[in-house]
Amino acid sequence: MFFSQAGARPRTREASPSEHKKWVEVFRACDEDNKGYLSREDFKVAVVMLFGYKPSKIEADSVMSSVNPNTSGILLEEFLSIVRKKKEAQLYRNEIRHIFTAFDRHYRGYLTLEDFQKAFKQVAPKLPERIILEVFREVDQDSDGHVSFKDFEYAMNCGQNEA
């Protein structure tokens, strides 16, 4: 796929000292009994505090199943790793949204072939028209002539688990 070949993938980045401090403070605030770990419910509260949403049962199950089975919950280092990954994913999604918005010059919430052509002419002026058409058709999953943000995000994330 074109986008995965283009190398669109999240960058790993270290948390700033203030972010790290905030994450540790949230961990400690949610570990009310000073157990040294977060229970499932503690973790859900921490996610609300840091990201503003309550994690689904599936997300909580996934996190809890990845925790060291010799502990009763999520230790600080595991929590920091989980939060860093969630933050990276959030930043990457925001970056994709920003790119989509730059392509969507008419603020319609979808991209047309014309939007693709104008965008590619700016970033890759020598790219043949047939390649732009090929990319558009590939990204336009339902072949309705419009690329939704969901289609665009899917294309940008394609191949993420291959590397």
CB atoms within 10 A of CB 53: 10
> To which residue do tokens 């309705």 refer?
144
pLDDT digit string, tens, across residues 13-35: 677 889 999 999 999 999 989 99
Task: Categorize the per-residue pLDDT at 160 as very low, low, confident or very high, splitting at 50, 70 and 90.
Answer: low
Residue 111 is classified by DSSP as E
Are residues 27 and 82 in contact, defined by beta-carbon separation less than 8 angstroms?
Answer: no
**Which tops the pLDDT comparison, 137 or 10?**
137
Residues contacting 70, CB < 8 A, separation 6+: none
The answer on pLDDT for 3 being more than 80 is no
pLDDT digit string, tens, across residues 41-72: 999 999 999 999 999 999 999 999 888 777 78
Angle at 155 between CA 153 and CA 158, to 5 degrees: 110
Task: Categorize the per-residue pLDDT at 163 as very low, low, confident or very high, splitting at 50, 70 and 90.
Answer: very low
CB atoms within 10 A of CB 91: 13
Whole-number mean pLDDT of the chain?
Answer: 87
pLDDT digit string, tens, across residues 107-127: 999 999 999 999 999 989 999
